[in-house]
Amino acid sequence: MTPHGHIPVLENEVARALSPRPGQTYADCTAGLGGHAALIAANVAPGGRVVLNDVDPGNLEAAAARVREVAPGVEVMTIRGNFAELPHHLRGMGVRADLVLADLGFSSNQMENAERGLSFMRDGPLDMRLDPTLPTTAADLVASLPEVELARLIAEYGEDKHARRIAARIVRARGEGPITTTGRLAEVVRSANGGVGGGGIDPATRTFQALRIAVNDELGCLEALMAHVEAEARAMAEGNPGGWLTRGGRVAVITFHSLEDRVVKASFERCEGLGCTDVLGGAAEASEGERGSNPRSRSAKVRCVEMPR
């Protein structure tokens, strides 16, 4: 853990992918605690601009403070919102980004804060919202979804082969009393799988991932962002200027599981069909050294496309 509470993954690979230069405009879809943003900001100085976006107001504020500290000469703009809307905001501000990064999911400080309800290792309210303004929590889904819907969600987003058994156990348990804490849900899921088990992953892992993806509509938001990138590529292929990206601008996305990576890979392939370049020649992954020092990096992949010039 750094003094900032989150170690950015794939820093070298992101720097290679985006290759920032002085004077460029960088838009960070998922500012987090500003680790990647600080790295890029230092390289777009002097004369550069950094647009920080995050759904979590606390993280956004921390990221802005960090970027201002490391790159005082760089203009910093902040947007608290979903990255699915970022292209719309950039257009509205008349800003075209040369470099865009989305580092998906959650930051370590969010996962470790029991009050956010993201972790089965820490007992807290079963919340899971990264955006505190969202109307539906994980507890709401667990209380209200029909069994078949819960099973579908755990199978699809958790890729858990025991999904039906877990959903049935959740429905039985909620009949005995509401499931409102992470600790209680973890207990229920483990009991469906016959306990904590041996050396493998905790049986609650996949169900928690599934609920988090559903609560935050993570795949829907990613698809929306990718659709905006593809629309820019199409406009540029037709000879138009970009609306929120520059010609030759680069977009990099860091994913942490196959469901996310599948969406990005397919979208970037369509972009290539529209004249974009695959900057990294596929996905780049963490080095052995990084995998050893930061377990979060082990499932991380970064892909990057360059818009038509």
Ligand X SMILES: C[S@@+](CC[C@H](N)C(=O)[O-])C[C@H]1O[C@@H](n2cnc3c(N)ncnc32)[C@H](O)[C@@H]1O
What residues make contact with ligand X under the rule CB under 6 A?
6, 8, 30, 32-36, 53-56, 59, 82-83, 103, 105-107, 130, 221
Least separation, in Å, of the C-beta of 276 and ligand X? Answer: 23
Considering the complex, state which of residue 20 and residue 105 has its C-beta at the smaller distance from ligand X. Answer: 105
Closest distance to ligand X from the beta carbon of 30 (Å): 3
Nearer to ligand X, 2 or 240 (CB): 2
Q: What's the closest the beta carbon of residue 235 comes to ligand X, in angstroms? A: 23
Give the DSSP per-residue string, 68-117.
HHH-TTSEEEEEES-GGGHHHHHHHHT--EEEEEEE-S--HHHHH-GGG-
Q: In which residue are the tokens 């930061």 written?
A: 294
Least distance from ligand X to the Cβ atom of residue 109, Å: 9
Q: Which residues pair with 254 in a beta bridge?
A: 103, 302
Q: Which residue's CB is nearer to ligand X, number 56 or number 160?
A: 56
Which position's Cβ is nearest ligand X? Answer: 32
Residue 78 Ramachandran class (φ > 0 left, ψ -120 to 50 alpha, else beta): beta
Minimum CB distance to ligand X smaller for 116 or for 174: 116
State which residue, 18 or 192, has the beta carbon closest to ligand X. Answer: 18
Q: What is the DSSP secondary structure assignment for residue 83, as one 8-state letter?
A: G
Residue type, 180: T
CB of 261 to ligand X, least distance (A): 15
